[in-house]
DNA sequence: AGAATAGTTGAATATATGTTCAACTATTTG
DNA sequence: CAAATAGTTGAACATATATTCAACTATTCT
């Protein structure tokens, strides 16, 4: 007994025996695709070594582009490009003072996300890779 | 008055006027690079639409590879490759039953991280991009 | 006004990464 | 044992992305 949805499910997965009830239940409870897509985009922004370092620096203090570039030993251009990514994700804000641009964090949730991330790392450092 | 550290800072950034006190203070309080690197790697794992969908599915139920492939309308191979990534990040675990492999979440912090991520998205959906 | 400097930006390049494809293993079933 | 199927894996390919480089804007200072 196969429903049409069942046929659709098999379109690409190449499976014949699946747990239809489970799949349907999960499908009904999945958040909207736009939300999941935005979530992936947000984590993609955090998923870069340079940007993580920038965010951690801004946890501690407001900094200008030169400060960050000096701290990380990178060019102003590279930092500026990354700050644009963080800006577009609404994660940092800035204020101008003369020709200097000071950047700071623009989100309360970031610290929680990072803290949980570090907790995960701390807890899984004992485990071996499979 | 420039210290040697100051000279080092200027190596690549191309700046002459930086806030040395701020940079030094931030530098002293940065977490170890290994931690920040691992954190970026963790977020990189979350920074993919397919993997986010897989994680959300496993929030709801334990699922086999075919279930997930059917749910997402993707091939078993693509799902298996992504499950390997999630496995290596200690985010999912699995049990075998015959030729079926059931996957489930292997981390308590994931739900918190995702919840904070969604909160950030909800809060910044009013803002316009700059 | 002119020089110097903070910062931005677009193009180019090199690297990273997600999916596909085909081949493979392992387990079940007839 | 043979066929079928769940799942894995490596190579190939296409796309995404981080940094560099050069050119540019804007602001300060003499």
Q: Match 């700046």 to its residue by tokens.
A: B15
Give me A126's structure tokens.
């004992």
Q: Is the CB of A115 under 7 A from strand D?
A: no
Instruction: Find residue A103's DSSP bridge partners.
Output: A63, A94
Q: What is the pLDDT of residues A78-99, one digit of tens each?
A: 999 999 999 999 999 999 999 9
Q: Is the CB of B15 under 7 A from strand C?
A: yes
Give me B66's structure tokens.
């075919």
Locate the domains of chain B by residue range.
Answer: 38-124
Using a CB-CB cut-off of 8 Å, the residues of chain B touching A83 are none
Count of alpha carbons within 13 angstroms of residue B63, beta-carbon side = 31
Q: Match 């190449």 to its residue by tokens.
A: A14
The stretch A22-44 carries a mean pLDDT of 97
Q: Show the CA angle centred on residue A41, arms to residues A118 and B79, nearest 5°.
A: 85
Q: What is the pLDDT of residues B67-124, one digit of tens each?
A: 999 999 999 999 999 999 999 999 999 999 999 999 999 988 899 999 999 999 988 8
Count of alpha carbons within 13 angstroms of residue B74, beta-carbon side = 17
B128 three-state secondary structure = coil
| Cβ-defined contact of B88 to A130 (cutoff 8 Å) | yes
Class of A38-124 in CATH: mainly alpha
């Amino acid at each position: 007994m196969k429903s049409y949805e069942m046929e659709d499910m098999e379109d690409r997965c190449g499976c014949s025996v699946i747990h239809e009830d489970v799949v349907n239940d999960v499908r009904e409870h999945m958040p909207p695709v736009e939300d999941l897509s935005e979530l992936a985009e947000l984590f993609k922004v955090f998923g870069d070594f340079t940007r993580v370092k920038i965010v951690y620096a801004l946890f501690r203090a407001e900094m200008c582009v030169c400060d960050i570039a000096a701290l990380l030993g990178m060019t102003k251009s590279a930092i500026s490009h990354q700050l644009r990514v963080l800006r577009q994700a609404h994660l940092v804000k800035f204020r101008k003072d003369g020709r200097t641009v000071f950047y700071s964090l623009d989100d309360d949730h970031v610290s929680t996300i990072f803290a949980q991330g570090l907790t995960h790392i701390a807890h899984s450092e004992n485990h071996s890779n499979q």
